[in-house]
Amino acid sequence: MKRTPRHTMISWRSTMLPRLHFCLLISLPVLLVQGSATNSAKTSPAAPASAPPRPPPPLGDPTWALGLRLYQALRSDSSSVNTLFSPLLVAASLEALGEGSAGNTASQVQDLLKPASPSKAGAQAGELLSESLKRFSDANGTSFHLHASSAVFLKQAPAFSQEFVKKSQSRFRLQHQTLEKGDSKADQKRLHDWAKAELNGLEGGPLETEIKVKAGGLILANALRFKGLWERQFSEESTDLRTFLGKKYTKVMMMHRAGLYRRHEDIDNMVQLLEAPLWGGKASIMLLMPFHVESLARLDKLLTLELLSKWLEKANVTSVAISLPKANVTSTLSLQKQLSALGLTDAWDQKVADFSGVSDKSKGKLHLGGVVHWASLELAAQAGKGDLEDESVEKPKLFYADHPFIVFVRDNTTGALLLMGALDHAEGEALHDEL
Ligand SMILES: *[C@@H]1O[C@H](CO)[C@@H](O)[C@H](O)[C@H]1NC(C)=O
Ligand SMILES: *[C@@H]1O[C@H](CO)[C@@H](O)[C@H](O)[C@H]1NC(C)=O
Ligand SMILES: *[C@@H]1O[C@H](CO)[C@@H](O)[C@H](O)[C@H]1NC(C)=O
Ligand SMILES: *[C@@H]1O[C@H](CO)[C@@H](O)[C@H](O)[C@H]1NC(C)=O
């Protein structure tokens, strides 16, 4: 006999407030007891008098400009599930390639990476991207575990120019590879094997569309695997099995924590934003979730950089009780269609593409043959090394993530966007009585 009868789900879904209170009752006793115990021992009030410093708003950064547009292009295909990618890696490798191009090809890349408003001190996209790559790499092992690689594969063509290799390697960590003569199956396998190695053995999914590379074709490939280490860990003891109301209803392990977090709720748009710092303060994970159970379609369409900036600006530190699924989100994407729709058109066309800086003997030959992307995000309870005192928590707001949400990982100094994605579905035992 199945346990969760259909009418129970309906009543959970249709009456939001009772559902929240119910969840609070069953999920929080342990946390609340812990919270109030430390509470009484402390003298300082919960909210800091002045808000801690925060990174610049996303408007001046190329990763946000590209990230948001690319996200929406990907999500306009309503069959996309758990879309996840690294705006920073895509932007940095496009910039590297753009610097090896000329004419229209170059200006189309520049347009793609143009921030919504000029950045501080008029820094160029290339400098910002290079700097952000370095920051994330430096924070690896303290704030998170990160594997991140980018490569350009060149199919049966003249050698890369030395200058391009040197510059793109040192500034954007771009690897340079070749694809041998052979059919698209062989190319596909080569790319897949590269991704698997760069993801430290994680088997990436197959590409949904076959990539056919002609001689002279350049393939940009990114691979990223990320696991954040929270500033304060989620309670392992209170982790329990709950229902996630995503594309399919599934049973997933949910982790819980009550603490002080930066949060904002936009009542008009019925969405709340939460920012959870990672260990060492180098980066943070931001979550964006509709108030009620719904697919992300509405929120996906609503998102603009201006709105996001506003929410981030308004967010302030408050007591929040968070429940999050433990989950692995993985995604394999081919971005040609989306990047073309965003204005990158000349690069793909052998007749007009100008990658004269990539190879000395490239006239009329070199062109972009594909942009492929593997990304994986692990949501786990773990924090970084070291013990922090629990905060005192009072009347926490709820962030009960039992339904789809959007996730961002950003650098705490530059604000650059390492990762952006949607969690529409959490892997777990299916409930067969969904609506
Ligand atoms: C992060 O550290 C791990 C383990 O030391 C290493 O394998 C990986 O390549 C590093 N990632 C980056 C992006 O530097
Ligand atoms: C960002 O860094 C500042 C300064 O080190 C720190 O006060 C703040 O808490 C950090 N924010 C996050 C979200 O980690
Ligand atoms: C946090 O923001 C809300 C809404 O913007 C405001 O009502 C509240 O006073 C703020 N709290 C602090 C501590 O700044
Ligand atoms: C996610 O993947 C890691 C290994 O890559 C594994 O240890 C962990 O248990 C997975 N988490 C879930 C919720 O499946």
The domain ranges of the chain are: 6-43+231-328+391-430, 58-227+330-377
Which residue's CA lies nearest to atom 9 of ligand 1?
147
CA distance 111 to 331: 26
pLDDT digits (tens, 9 = 90+) for 274-291: 999 999 999 999 999 999
Q: How far is the CA of 376 from the centre of ligand 1 (A)?
A: 15
Tell me the angle at which helices 103-112 and 87-98 cross, rounded to the nearest 10 degrees: 160
CB atoms within 10 A of CB 111: 12
CA atoms within 13 A on the CB side of 20: 14
377 lines ligand 4 (CB under 6 A): no
pLDDT of residue 37: 36
Which residue's CA lies nearest to atom 1 of ligand 3?
316
Is residue 104's pLDDT more than 90? yes
Tokens of 100: 């090896």
pLDDT of residue 383: 95
Ligand nearest to the CA of 277: 2
Is residue 4's pLDDT more than 50? no
pLDDT digits (tens, 9 = 90+) for 219-264: 999 999 999 999 999 998 899 999 999 999 999 999 999 999 999 9
**Superfamily of domain 58-227+330-377, CATH level 4:** Antithrombin, subunit I, domain 2 (3.30.497.10)
Q: State the average pLDDT over residues 4-24.
A: 39
pLDDT digits (tens, 9 = 90+) for 332-342: 999 999 999 99
Q: How far is the CA of 263 from the centre of ligand 3 (A)?
A: 10
CATH class of 6-43+231-328+391-430: mainly beta
Q: How far is the CA of 316 from the centre of ligand 3 (A)?
A: 6
The residues that bridge with 231 in the sheet, in sequence order, are: none
Q: State the average pLDDT over residues 83-88.
A: 98
Decide: 108 and 94 in contact? Cβ < 8 Å: no
Which residue's CA lies nearest to atom 10 of ligand 3?
316
pLDDT of residue 416: 96
Q: State the average pLDDT over residues 322-328.
A: 97
Decide: 62 and 115 in contact? Cβ < 8 Å: yes
CA distance 201 to 25: 41
Q: Which is it for the CA torsion 353, 354, 355, 360, positive or negative?
A: positive
Q: How far is the CA of 173 from the centre of ligand 1 (A)?
A: 13
